[in-house]
Amino acid sequence: MRLDRLLCEMNKGARSRVKEYIRQGLVTVDGVVVRDPGRRVGDGECVTLQGEEVIFKKYEYYMLNKPGGVVSATRDNVSQTVLELLPKGRRQGLFPVGRLDKDTEGLLLVTNDGELAHRLLSPGRHVDKVYLAGLVKPLEEARIRCLEQGVDIGEEKPTLPARVEILEPALIRLTIHEGKYHQVKRMLQAVGNEVLTLKRIGFGGLALDPSLAPGESRELTEEEVTRLHES
C-alpha cells in the first residue's frame, strides 16, 4: 500500500495533508525518514508519524453502547451519529451494522468489514438479536405464546418464532431472528401491548459489555470477532 494512502485510511488527515507531513520529513518507515508519498509499505514495516507509531489494520470492530437520541448513521444534518461517539483517530470507512431506532439503546456493532456485515444482516441467516423491553403492562401467558409462535405485524409473512423470558412483571428479554423495521415495537403492538423502553443486549453471539456506559465503546477482542464470524 502507498504510504500516503495508509496514513489517510488510518485517519491521519486528508491526502493533501499527509503528503505534506511526508514531504516535511515527519514520517518514518523502519526508522528511516521517507519523503516519497508513493513509497510502498509492506507487512511488518513500522510507520511513525511525528514519532507516534501508526498501526495499519485492514478491519476494525467496535462495540458501542448506543445511548438514546443518537442516530445509527454515518452522518446526519440534525442529530449526533454513532460514529461521533467512537474514539478520535479511528480509521476511515467505519459504519454501523444495521440500525437501532433513535430512542433505542444498547449494543451496536461498528466496523469497516462489509462482508461480515452483509452476512450478519442477511435475512436468510436468522442471526439472534436480544432485547430488554420495558412494557406498558405485563404479558399474559396467551400473548407470550403468540410471540413464541410468530405474529402478524402487517408483513407478507408472520414473524419468526421469538423467545420470551419474563424478568419482571413488565420487563422481558426478547430474542428475535430477523431485523424488520421497528420489529420489536410492532410485535408487542400485535399482542395488545406497547414498548416503553428498549435496549439491545445481544447480537450475533456478541453480548453487550456491562462495563460500557451509554455512549462508550471499545474494540472487540479476537475471540469476539471469531464468534461473530461463526454466527
Instruction: Give 86-99 pLDDT, tens digit per residue.
Output: 988 777 889 999 99
Q: Which fold has domain 3-54?
A: 3.10.290
Backbone angles phi, psi at 81, to 5 degrees: -105, 160
How is the chain split into domains, by residue range? Answer: 3-54, 61-122+206-230, 128-203
Which grid cell is 150?
410468530
Q: Are 61-122+206-230 and 128-203 equal in CATH topology? A: yes
What pLDDT, on the 0 to 100 scale, is given for residue 22?
Answer: 95
Indicate the pLDDT class of residue 56, thresholds 50, 70 and 90.
confident
| Residue 82, pLDDT above cutoff 90 | yes
Tell me the CATH number for domain 128-203: 3.30.70.1560
Neighbours of 94 (CB within 10 A): 19
Mean pLDDT of 111-140: 94
What pLDDT, on the 0 to 100 scale, is given for residue 123?
Answer: 84
Q: Is 30 a catalytic residue?
A: no
Catalytic residue among 4, 30, 36, 101: 101
Q: What is the pLDDT of residues 174-208, one digit of tens each?
A: 999 998 999 999 999 999 999 999 999 999 989 99
- Higher pLDDT among residues 11 and 144, named by residue: 144
What pLDDT, on the 0 to 100 scale, is given for residue 9?
Answer: 85
Tell me the CATH number for domain 61-122+206-230: 3.30.70.580
